[in-house]
Amino acid sequence: MKKFVSLVVVLALVLLVWFLYRAIQPPELVDRFSGLRIASTIYPLGFVAEHIGGISVRVAVLTPPGVEAHEFEPSVQDIAGLYNADLFLYVGAHFDPWADRLRPELEANGVRVISLAESLNLSRIYHRDGEDVTDRDGGSLDPHFWLDPQHLVRATSLITQALQSIDPGKQDVYQQRADEFVASLTVLEDEYRSGLSECTLHDALVSHDAFGYLGDRFNITFHAVSGLSPESEPTPRTLAELTKLAEDKNIRVVFFETLTSPRIAETIAREIGGMALMLNPIEGLTSREASVGSTYFTLMNMNLKNLRTALQCL
**Pairwise CA distance, residues 189 & 187, whole Å:** 5
**Pairwise CA distance, residues 244 & 272, whole Å:** 9
pLDDT of res. 259: 86
**Pairwise CA distance, residues 40 & 25, whole Å:** 15
CATH number, domain 198-310: 3.40.50.1980
pLDDT of res. 260: 85
pLDDT of res. 234: 82
pLDDT in tens, the chain (314 residues): 544 445 444 434 434 434 444 555 555 454 577 899 999 999 999 999 999 999 999 999 999 999 999 889 999 999 999 999 999 999 999 999 999 999 999 999 999 999 999 999 999 886 544 433 433 345 689 999 999 999 999 999 999 999 999 999 999 999 999 999 999 999 999 999 999 999 999 999 998 889 999 999 999 999 998 765 666 678 888 889 999 999 999 999 999 999 888 999 999 999 999 999 999 999 999 999 999 999 999 999 999 999 999 999 99
pLDDT of res. 156: 99
pLDDT of res. 139: 66
Domain ranges of the chain: 198-310
Are 76 and 24 in contact by the 8 Å Cβ rule? The answer is yes
pLDDT of res. 8: 42
pLDDT of res. 25: 53
pLDDT of res. 108: 98
For every residue of 68-105, DSSP letters joined together read -GGG----HHHHHHHTT-SEEEE--TTSSHHHHHHHHH
Q: What is the mean pLDDT of the chain?
A: 88
